[in-house]
Chain A
């Protein structure tokens, strides 16, 4: 079967790849582009480890047909850091012990970014809602919720 040429923006950089029909965006990012920051947890939409932003909206890469990303902007955790500096959300996750094994962290950070980009001063309930599609088997969620709220607070002061 022939492959389809696909171009999109990946963390602000233009990329071009060839995909098999039916390839999901998670496979495209990890295996064809080499961005290992979105994680494979379930391939079923259930865990959120593969969360990425497409044109600023939170999407599950494992349930996204790769070719639907054509011409769009895909952001992953790899694009979050600003040069050598951690993004304020990353810093807040580190300071608040919001990552243990770290497997859910890339997805959590992207879900949190999607929230703060639209709503820089969220309530606790809004943070809980924003990460409700992301499963964490280590932290019990409290440190993650606190980290997102802390990052929002830090932004307000900056």
Chain B
């Protein structure tokens, strides 16, 4: 069924169009929206696009990086200053999907997708959102909690601090197929060290709940401790707390709970 497509030159105009029409859907890279249209999803009757260069901007020189919502994973991989985000960007789709899919769309991607969002959650990212009432910044976990209600808003950009060292941020995606495959589970850890102890631990998990979640009990097990075997074991035994994985074609809930601790241990102790 044909849909109405409206393309705007500025993000602001697109945001007003979205907030004034509840049935409109924003079209980012389109890898999920076009898929729904091809399937004949009748809930989409109109599409809003924005051709605004601001949405494709990357500011990566400083200690805090800002990435426009319309930036593709291929563009992140081409940016040397974003090396810490290359592992999550490379883990998404094949080359064509990375040329098309965007950071903004990933925030809304349902399981088994949303891998980049898992990385952003572990980095305490901020999501900049423009609604009918102007723009505001939300912590990413708050954004994810209210994701359903964000549908009428336009995400402008995400920003996050650059990890202090390459060791401080780690990412791991478990798939059945290599090199490309959907996530069985995804893990991201931000473990900044101060005086030999973890300070400000963040662990984020994908495919362990309806959307990416923080593993707070395991974070507490890491906080203030050296990253040694006994700390890592304590974190691994707390990692399933608060999770609610499901059975799907990629793995059962039981399997996901069984393997997540193993992969957390490997991630934190630098094992393949």
Which residues in window 23-58 of A have CB below 8 A to B?
23-24, 43-45, 48, 51, 57-58
Task: Name the one of B4, B7, B38, B99 contacting A62, with C-beta atoms under 8 angstroms.
Answer: B38
Q: Which of B3, B47, B97 has the most CB of A within 10 A?
A: B97
Q: Are A63 and B34 in touch, CB under 8 angstroms? A: yes
Q: Mark B55-99, 1 if CB is under 8 A from A, else 0.
A: 000000000000000000010000000000000000001111101
Task: Name the one of A21, A63, A65, A129 contacting B179, with C-beta atoms under 8 angstroms.
Answer: A129
Q: Are B2 and A59 in touch, CB under 8 angstroms? A: no
Q: Are A24 and B5 in touch, CB under 8 angstroms? A: no
Give CA–CA (A65, B35) in the complex, Å: 10
Give CA–CA (A21, B2) in the complex, Å: 5
Give CA–CA (A131, B178) in the complex, Å: 12
Q: Which of A4, A65, A131 has the most CB of B within 10 A?
A: A65
Q: Which residues of A contact B30 (CB under 8 A)?
A: 63-65, 68
- A152 in contact (CB, < 8 A): no
Chain A residue nearest to B27 (CB atoms) is A65
Q: Which residues of B contact A115 (CB under 8 A)?
A: 95
Task: Give the total number of A-B pairs whose CB atoms are below 8 A apart.
Answer: 88
Q: Are A57 and B74 in touch, CB under 8 angstroms? A: yes
Q: Are B3 and A58 in touch, CB under 8 angstroms? A: no
Nearest Cβ on chain A to B154's Cβ, whole angstroms: 17
- A90 in contact (CB, < 8 A): no
Given A21-B3, A22-B3, A67-B5, also A44-B95 (CB < 8 A): no
Q: Mark A58-93, 1 if CB is under 8 A from B, else 0.
A: 111011110110000000000000000000000000
- B37 in contact (CB, < 8 A): yes
Q: Are A65 and B96 in touch, CB under 8 angstroms? A: no
- A158 in contact (CB, < 8 A): no
Q: Are A59 and B34 in touch, CB under 8 angstroms? A: no
Q: Which residues of A contact B74 (CB under 8 A)?
A: 57
Q: Are B5 and A4 in touch, CB under 8 angstroms? A: yes
Task: Name the one of B2, B38, B96, B100 contacting A24, with C-beta atoms under 8 angstroms.
Answer: B38
Q: Are A22 and B5 in touch, CB under 8 angstroms? A: yes
Q: Which residues of A contact B5 (CB under 8 A)?
A: 4, 21-22, 65, 67
Q: Are B4 and A133 in touch, CB under 8 angstroms? A: no
Q: Is the interface of B mostly helix, strand, loop or mixed?
A: mixed
Give CA–CA (A128, B95) in the complex, Å: 11
- B180 in contact (CB, < 8 A): yes
Q: Is the interface of A mostly helix, strand, loop or mixed?
A: mixed
Q: Which residues of A contact B243 (CB under 8 A)?
A: none
- A20 in contact (CB, < 8 A): yes
Q: Are A130 and B95 in touch, CB under 8 angstroms? A: yes
Q: Mark A1-28, 1 if CB is under 8 A from B, else 0.
A: 1001000000000000000111110000
Give CA–CA (A57, B96) in the complex, Å: 8
Task: Name the one of A23, A43, A58 contacting B96, with C-beta atoms under 8 angstroms.
Answer: A58
Q: Are B34 and A65 in touch, CB under 8 angstroms? A: yes
Q: Which residues of B contact A154 (CB under 8 A)?
A: none
Pairs A–B under 8 Å by Cβ, sample size 24: A21-B2, A21-B4, A22-B1, A22-B2, A22-B3, A22-B37, A43-B35, A43-B39, A44-B35, A44-B38, A45-B97, A51-B96, A59-B99, A59-B100, A63-B35, A64-B30, A65-B34, A67-B7, A111-B96, A128-B179, A132-B180, A133-B94, A133-B97, A133-B180
Binding site for A on B (CB under 8 A): 1-5, 7, 27, 30-31, 34-35, 37-39, 44, 47, 49, 74, 93-97, 99-100, 179-180
Binding site for B on A (CB under 8 A): 1, 4, 20-24, 43-45, 48, 51, 57-60, 62-65, 67-68, 111, 114-115, 128-134
6 tightest Cβ-Cβ pairs between the two chains A and B = A133-B94, A22-B3, A20-B2, A132-B180, A43-B38, A63-B34
Given A63-B30, A63-B38, A65-B47, 19 new contacts (CB under 8 A): A4-B5, A21-B4, A22-B1, A22-B2, A22-B44, A23-B2, A44-B35, A58-B95, A59-B99, A62-B38, A63-B35, A68-B30, A68-B49, A111-B95, A115-B95, A128-B179, A129-B179, A131-B94, A133-B97
